[in-house]
Every structure is written in C-alpha cells, then in structure tokens.
Amino acid sequence: MDKNTVRQPSLRNVTIRGADKDFDTLNIEETIREFCAFIRSIISRYNENLILQEDAEAKEQDIRHFIEMANNLSDDEKKIIYAKLSNTLQDRRQCKNENEIIRPLYDFVADKNLLNRLSQIQGAVGSVKKTISNRTYACRTDVLDDIDAKIPK
C-alpha cells in the first residue's frame, strides 16, 4: 500500500471475536492456587510441629521430675515410665526431623508477602483471561467486505 493511499473503513463494520476460550494451557490460575495451598500447609505443619515439640519437651520434663522424686518404683512402674519417656522422645524427634526438612522452604515462604503477591498474580491472570475471552476486533479496512462467508460477531 502506498503511503499516500487512504485506508477505507469497512462498510460492513465487521467485528471479529475469538472463538477459543481455553487458552490457558498451562493452568496458571489453578497451579498458583494449588501452590498457595501447599505453602499454607507447609507453614501450618511447621508451626504445628513446633507446638507438638514443645508439648513433648514438657512431658519429658514431667517424666524426669517424676523419676527424680519417686521412691521405690516397682519394676512394672519403671517399665511404664520408661515406655512413656521413650514414646515422648520419639514424638519429639519426629517433629524436629520433619521441621529440619521443612525449614529451608518455611524460611523462604513464611513471609506473608509471598502469598499476597501470588494471590495478586492469580487475580491478574484471571483478569487477563477474562479480557482475552471477551476480546473483539473491529476491522479498520475494507479488506473483508468482499468475503461472502458470515463472520461471527
């Protein structure tokens, strides 16, 4: 087209609307939602383990004080106390071990700004998806005026 040629607007006022509504092939919104749920579960699990660990440590101290102050325990009582102490120490160790594994991720994600930012991104993606699904294009030229096929509006 020559620079001096003036474009003619469409006489039919053709509007083109996209037909494909499933353009988020990466499932970004759903993936972000699932990731945020995972992050919340990590934070919750870590904090829950801290509480359980503190509880186990308090039980351990109670058992140790009982042993310290008890007089003349029978063999059966000693077995019961030993079993309680052993179970308590195992529970404490399980919480500590799990939190050691979780800790690097927890330290990274415990900041609420990350979850807030991911929620903002999720909302922005949803907004863009809505815009794309409602997008139309009005022809600026008469290039499609001679097409006999109906163009969906």
**Gap between the Cα atoms of 55 and 47, Å rounded:** 13
Domain presence at residue 122:
yes
Q: If DSSP codes are grouped into helix, strand and coil, which group holds residue 122? A: helix
Q: What are phi and psi of 136, to 5 degrees?
A: -130, 160
DSSP code, position 142: S
Same-domain check for residues 44 and 114:
yes
Same-domain check for residues 1 and 48:
no
Average pLDDT across the chain, whole number: 83
Q: What is the pLDDT of residues 119-129, one digit of tens each?
A: 888 888 888 88
Q: How many domains are contained in the chain?
A: 2
Q: Sign of torsion, CA 47 48 54 56?
A: negative
- Residue 87: pLDDT above 90? yes
Is the pTM value of this prediction over 0.75? Answer: no
Same-domain check for residues 98 and 113:
yes
Q: What is the mean pLDDT of residues 36-51?
A: 94
Same-domain check for residues 87 and 144:
no
Top pLDDT among 60 and 23 is at: 60
Same-domain check for residues 96 and 130:
yes
Question: Using 50, 70 and 90 to split pLDDT, how confident is the model at 104?
Answer: very high
Same-domain check for residues 91 and 116:
yes
Same-domain check for residues 124 and 141:
no
Domain presence at residue 71:
yes
pLDDT at 1: 54
Q: Which domain holds residue 2?
A: 1-18+136-153
Q: If DSSP codes are grouped into helix, strand and coil, which group holds residue 153? A: coil
Own/partner contacts of 128-133, CB < 8 Å, gap of 24 or more, are: 129/23, 129/24, 129/29, 132/18, 132/23, 133/18, 133/21, 133/23
pLDDT at 90: 98
Same-domain check for residues 78 and 6:
no
pLDDT at 131: 79
Same-domain check for residues 99 and 130:
yes
First to last CA, the chain: 28
